[in-house]
Chain A
Amino acid sequence: MIATKIYSARRKALILLVVICACVIGVAFRVGAVASTQTDSAAPEPLPELSQSTIQKLADSGIQLAPSDGMTSQHQSDLFTALVSRVDEEFAFVQGVDATEMSQALLTIGGLGPELERDPTKPSNIEPLFKDRNVLAVLYADVELPLLNAPPKLSEPSTYTADVIVFLDPATGEVLMAQSI
C-alpha cells in the first residue's frame, strides 16, 4: 500500500515535471518566436540596386556610376539606416519620402566642377569635382522640390515633383550632391 502510494507520488511528480518542462520549453519557444518576429520587422529590407533605367537617366545627365567593391545589399541598407537622419537634416526635401533604390558606387561627373576656362568664347575645361568618389547613391521617388520662378511671375512660391538621386558620403552621411532626374 505504502509502496503503491510512493510509486503513485513519484509518478505524479514525474508527470508534473514533464508538464513544467513542456511549459517552460513552450514559453521559451514562443518568446523566441516573438523576439525573432520583432527582429525581423525591425530589420530594414534591403533596397533594390539602382535600375538600368535610373543609371541611364544619370548617364544622360553626364553622371557615371561604376561598380564598387565591398558592401552587400544588407550592409548598404544597414549603413543607410544609420545615416538617414543626417540626410534628412542636410536635405530636408526627402524627409518623409521613402528611398526606392540604392547602390554603393564610384561616382564620376566629368562636367561638374571648377571651370578652368573662364573665357565664355572658348570651350569649357572642367576639373571634375567627383572622380571615382566612393558614394552611396540613393533614389527617392516623387520628391516635392522648389520651382524658383522667373519674372513676371516673381510672386508666389511653387513646387514641382520629380525623382531625386542623392549621393552620400558612406562614412559620414554628408550629402555631397542631389539632383532631380
Chain B
Amino acid sequence: MVPQASRAPALAKRCDPTLGGVFGYYSPRLTTTFGTRGRIEFNDPDLCFVTIGSSYGYSAAWVMLGAKSATHPNMTAANAWAQVGYIRTAPAAAIPDAPTGMHYFAQYTRKCKVQNNCTNGDTVQTVFLGSPRPTAAVYYDVYLRAADDRIHMYADGINLVANGMPYDPTGVWDNNWQCTFAEETFAEADDAPGTINDKTGFNYLQRYLQNGSRSNVETLTAKDPDDARYSLGPTSVGTYGGLIFNAWTDIP
C-alpha cells in the first residue's frame, strides 16, 4: 500500500484512460463449475469524468463466469464471459442528489465474439438497470440453468438479461469454467469502490455445481492492481468457512 502522505493531491490525479484497470481474484477453470456467486458490499466511488470523444469514466465491482472459446482455445481475444455487478457511470460532482449514476449491470460476450467471427465491433451486450438502484451489499449470481441451457445473470435476485444469455454455451464455451471477483475502473483518477476506512468486502464466494447446489470457491489467484492508488487485500476464511477479501482505493 502506498503511504497516505506520499499520494498526490486530488487535483493532480490523472484521467488517463490507459491507467485504470481490473484487480481482484480468479479461480481455476473447472469442468465441475456451472456458475458463480458472490456477495459484494456497496460503496459509492467518485469518478474523474474524463472526456474522450464522449464523456466517460466508470467504476465497478462485479462477479464473472468465464471460459475460453471452445473453438479457439488459444485465442485470448475470443474469451467468453458473463458477469454481473454494480457500476457508477457519472461523477459525484454532476449529481446533486446522490446516489444517481449508479446501476446494476450485466455483460456477456456474444456468440460471434467467442467464435471469433464478429463482422463488426458489437462483440458484447450490456444491460444497465437504474431502478431499483444498488444501495447495499447483495448477492450477485451467474449460472447455467439446466431447463433452458442459458446462462442467467442476477443482481440481488433480479434477472438482468431478459431470458438469459441468448445462446447455449455448449460447444461455444470451453467446458472449463472460471469464477472471477473484481473491481474495475476506466481511468487512474476514477476511485474503485471502497476506501481505506470503508473497504469493499467480497464474501460468500461460491461456485454452482451441476446439480444446482453451491460450493465455496477453494482456490483463488490474485490479480493485483496495476495502479498504486488501488489496493487488494489478501484472502482469508470468513466466519461461514469460505474465502473472503477486501478491495479499495487508497483514500480515507
Binds B, one of A28-36, A76-84, A145-153: A145-153
A70 at interface, CB cutoff 8 A:
no
A114 pairs with B157, CB closer than 8 A: yes
B21 pairs with A62, CB closer than 8 A: no
Q: What secondary structure prevails in chain A residues at the interface with B? A: loop
**B90, closest chain A residue (CB):** A92
Binds A, one of B2-10, B94-102, B241-249: B94-102
Cβ proximity bits B156-171 to A, threshold 8 Å, 1 near / 0 not: 0111111110100000
B202 at interface, CB cutoff 8 A:
no
Q: Which of the listed residues B64, B87, B144 has the most CB atoms from chain A within 10 Å of its own CB?
A: B64
Binds B, one of A8-16, A17-25, A39-47, A154-162: A154-162
Contact of A115 among B34, B128, B148, B154 (CB under 8 A): B154
Other 8 A-B pairs with CB < 8 A, given A91-B101, A144-B54, A151-B26: A90-B100, A92-B89, A93-B89, A94-B54, A95-B54, A148-B83, A176-B131, A180-B124
List 30 A–B pairs whose Cβ atoms lie within 8 Å, in order of A's numbering.
Answer: A88-B94, A89-B100, A90-B101, A91-B103, A91-B128, A112-B158, A112-B159, A113-B159, A114-B157, A120-B144, A120-B208, A121-B212, A123-B145, A144-B52, A144-B53, A144-B56, A146-B58, A147-B107, A147-B124, A148-B22, A148-B60, A151-B66, A154-B182, A156-B20, A157-B21, A157-B186, A162-B122, A175-B131, A177-B127, A177-B130
Chain A residues at the B interface, C-beta cutoff of 8 Å: 60-63, 88-97, 109-115, 118-124, 126, 129, 143-157, 159-162, 169, 174-181
